[in-house]
Amino acid sequence: MKRVLIIMMAAAIAAVSCSSEKKAPGNPFFAEWNTPFGVPPFDKIENEHYLPAIDSGIALARLQIAEITGSEEAPTFINTIAKMDHSEEILTRVAYVFYSQTSANTNDTLEMLQMEIAPKVSAFSDEVLLNADLFGRIRTVWENRDSSQLNDEELFLLDNLYKSFVRNGALLNSEDQEKLKMLNQELSVLTVKFSQNVLAETNKFKLVIDNEADLKGLPESVITTAAAMAKDEDMEGKWVFTTQKPSMLPFLQYAENRDLRKKLYDAYLNRGNNGDEYDNNKILADIVRLRAERAKLLGYRTHADIVLETRMAKTPDNVLNLLNDLLNRALPVAGRERDEMQKIILAEGGNFKLEPHDWWYYAEKLRKSKYDLDDNELRPYFSLDNVRDGAFAVATKLYGITFSPINEIPLPHPDAQAFEVKEADGSHVGVLYMDFYPRESKRQGAWCGGYRDHQVVDGKEITPVVTIVGNFTPPAGDKPALLSMDDVLTLFHEFGHGLQGLFSENTYSTTTVAWDIVELPSQIMEHWVTQPEVLSMYARHYETGEVIPQALVEKIRNSSYFNTGFDNVEIMAASLLDMAYYSLEAPAEVNPQQFEKETMKKIGMIPEIEPRYRSTYFLHMIDGYDAGYYVYTWAAVLDNDAFEAFNEKGIFDQATATSFRKNVLEKMGTMDAEQMYLNFRGREPGIEPLLRNRGLN
């Protein structure tokens, strides 16, 4: 019987592959990738290749699941869990490329495909998670785990896989499972639409300046970039600013025209809230309502309770206790910052109260007056290439790895760069792509993703392909891309995520990462940015090559607490807004604008500061950080405490770096997060380093 089943499966797989190839001849997803290091052949992948490849990947995975459930052998880890782990190999390969491209290089066709593919993938996910025969085999393996002689990684995988099936409806009756499928289908489409609307809104608004007097106060480099952007838009002789932060923030910092600052900032704040085709209010309300319904159906009080079950925080109350504690510490600090800026307004003869769109402008004045530090003084020392190489140098000193440019390799976009990452002994670690400049096809912000994860298949190590994507100010004229201090921190932050992806040592593709700790690798990297020893490695003037003067280094360190009230308040407000939405019990009917306003009033938000993300463009709250934006703050407790370990022995201490790599970076997703941290630090994290480093103690 088993031999007959195998023959039938082989024939079916061949039929699916042939059928798919006929639908899309020459489809790169149906052939081995003969590229350097097996990276995706981006130059050969066309829009029409994705859907047939997704369909084929689902069909093949479906057949392999059927082989597992049709087996007459008693369920074991090898014939059930490990086999299932490899069942979606082709689907995963296609999905990684597709979703990376829709984030960083989308177009109208890809956006339409997203709307078609999202419900397909959601339906297939439900099909797997609600497969009673498959769950029965997994449950049998899980119930016999104590006598199965599995290693720690396998036990962790098995336990979390079983619980994931339960958490996603495996124990529901058939009627409720059908309801769950419908909810998941609706959510899959709504979340894609929300994200697409934010991108459309970001691209839609342009502040066009045709009067040179309105540029007063802006640094020459900012003006040059705005002129180049206008030229690209066929508006030569004018200047264009957008709601992309590399364009918007310098304008808010330096432009003397208060009305134009308000116009640009209001456009940023109201993305998705303009009552037009891109309005996200109803979409968000529906997402909140459906997630609350889904939680109730699954037997949970709220969506937040589902999300937090696998995390270090465990419960919404633990999250709220941390966020409220830090907010209450930060609000008085922010209030003092506000009062100092109000004094500047009055001293200059201003007859108005500070408003949110004024904060960056007067904060910059305050920084100059208190610390004699102008952010514009720093930019010439932070050319993008130097900062990138500085991040590489830090990783080399910590872990011994090296980064070599790869010239002849397919790129996900012409702007992207590729590097081979090697161990100190020259052995291959993985491939790192970096894609830094904004464009209309790229969503806002910065992130780290991947085109392939580390795993071991049939004894062969599969090495990772990681991508870091940003939206930094591009080169303009004869000037290279020059970064702000915030940009430098962002690059190091995403590079930390990249290191974790490159160092992963998981055997299986199925991992379970507690998102409370996922930001530890990224946020700890930020601590090296302003260390004098590190600044001397990368902060060199783009024209003269001069190392950043010691006087500027001292100013940077002296101003380390600058604007800390604002920074903490805006991120706590956004985190609390996220938790407020997802702590609602079904039926959860919300008007986002009213709900946001009431939430800000409840937490005591001062009117001069807006939350870092407002409801209708809060992408984190939709695409994976739902009931999870708090993780940046939870991880901040970890990263400040972890960096203390380096400070105690030296910021490049090899033993500490090796321990961090072995116990944290390599183990992510394959071990309990609390145990990972304990193995590294030897104790639980303390909050004191965070309070001290943020000036909140």
Q: Which residues are catalytic?
A: 494
Asked if 61 and 90 count as a contact pair (C-beta separation under 8 A), the reply is yes
Asked if 401 and 510 count as a contact pair (C-beta separation under 8 A), the reply is no
- Which secondary-structure segment (H or E) carries 450? strand 447-452
- Give the DSSP letter string of 97-122: HHHHHHHHS--HHHHHHHHHHHHHHH
> Strand, coil or helix: what is 459?
coil
Burial of 332 (0-12, 13-18, 19+ CB in 10 A): exposed
Write the CB contacts of 289 (distance below 8 Å, at least 6 apart in sequence). Answer: 586, 587, 588, 589, 590
Asked if 331 and 565 count as a contact pair (C-beta separation under 8 A), the reply is yes
> Strand, coil or helix: what is 432?
strand
Asked if 200 and 278 count as a contact pair (C-beta separation under 8 A), the reply is yes
CA distance 401 to 383: 23
Going by C-alpha positions, the residue among 320, 249, 336 that lies closest to residue 633 is 320
Residue with tokens 């996910």: 125
Asked if 243 and 445 count as a contact pair (C-beta separation under 8 A), the reply is no
**Chain centroid, CA 651 distance in Å:** 26
- Which secondary-structure segment (H or E) carries 430? strand 428-435
First to last CA, the chain: 70
> Strand, coil or helix: what is 138?
helix
